Amino acid sequence: MSNDEFDYDRPTPIEAYENTRRWWWRLVWFLLIALLLIWFFSKEWVIAYDDEVEHFKYGSIGSEGNQGLPTPILQALPVIYKDELGDQGFAKFGLIQEEGHDLPIGFSKRIVGGIERAWLNCSVCHYGTYTLPGETTVHTLPGGASNDLDLFAFIEFFTRVGKDPGFNTNTVIAAINSDEVPGNLNFLERQLYRFAVMPLVKKEMLALSNQLEFVARQEPYGPGRVDTFNSYKVLQFGFPMGPHDISDVALNGSSDYPSIWMQRPRAGMNLHWDGNNASVTERNFSAALGAGVSPVTVDAESLFRIRDWIDTLEAPKFPGEINMALAETGAPLFETHCAACHGMGNADYDEQLAAYEVAMAAKETGEDHAAEALIKPTRYDYDTGKYPYLGQVVGLEEIGTDVGRWASYDQDFAAAQMGLYAGTPYRFRHFKKTDGYANHPLDGIWARSPYLHNGSVPTLRDLMNTAAERPKTWLRGARELDLVKVGYRSDARSGGTFTYDTNVLGNGNAGHEYGTSLSDAEKDAIVEYMKTL
What digits encode the pLDDT tens for the residues 432-450? 999 999 999 999 999 999 9
Furthest C-alpha separation in the chain: 127
Q: What is the DSSP string of 146-191?
A: -TT-BHHHHHHHHHHHHH-TTSSHHHHHHHHTSTTSSS---HHHHH
Residue 40's identity, in one-letter code, is F
Count of CB atoms situated within 10 Å of the CB of 432? 17
235 DSSP β-pair partners: none
DSSP state of 472: S
pLDDT of residue 43: 56
pLDDT of residue 36: 53
Residues with Cβ within 8 Å of 499's Cβ and at least 6 positions away in sequence, in order, are 473, 474, 475, 476
Q: Are the C-beta atoms of residues 96 and 49 closer than 8 Å to each other?
A: no
Residue 160's identity, in one-letter code, is R
Q: Tabulate helix, strand, coil % of the chain (nearest 5).
A: 45, 10, 45
Residues with Cβ within 8 Å of 316's Cβ and at least 6 positions away in sequence, in order, are 141, 144, 261, 444, 447
pLDDT of residue 1: 46
* Cα–Cα distance list, 309 to 184, 194, 283, 303, 448 (Å): 37, 42, 15, 10, 20
* Entry pTM: 0.89
Rounded Cα gap, residues 33 and 43, in angstroms: 15
Residue 90's identity, in one-letter code, is F
Q: Report which secondary-structure segment, H or E, holds 116.
A: strand 115-120
pLDDT per residue over 152-200, tens digit each? Answer: 999 999 999 999 999 999 999 999 999 999 888 999 899 999 999 999 9
Which residue ranges of the chain lie beneath pLDDT 50? 1, 37, 39-40
Residues with Cβ within 8 Å of 120's Cβ and at least 6 positions away in sequence, in order, are 63, 67, 106, 107, 108, 291, 292
CA atoms within 13 A on the CB side of 65: 20
Residues with Cβ within 8 Å of 143's Cβ and at least 6 positions away in sequence, in order, are 56, 126, 127, 259, 260, 261, 310, 313
End-to-end CA distance of the chain: 110
Neighbour-count burial for 254-278, b at 16+ CB within 10 Å, e otherwise: bbbbbbbbbbebbeebbbbbbbbbb
CA–centroid distance for 411 within its chain:
24
Classified as helix, coil or strand, 21 is helix
pLDDT of residue 361: 82
Rounded Cα gap, residues 107 and 270, in angstroms: 29
pLDDT of residue 397: 97
Rounded Cα gap, residues 156 and 162, in angstroms: 10
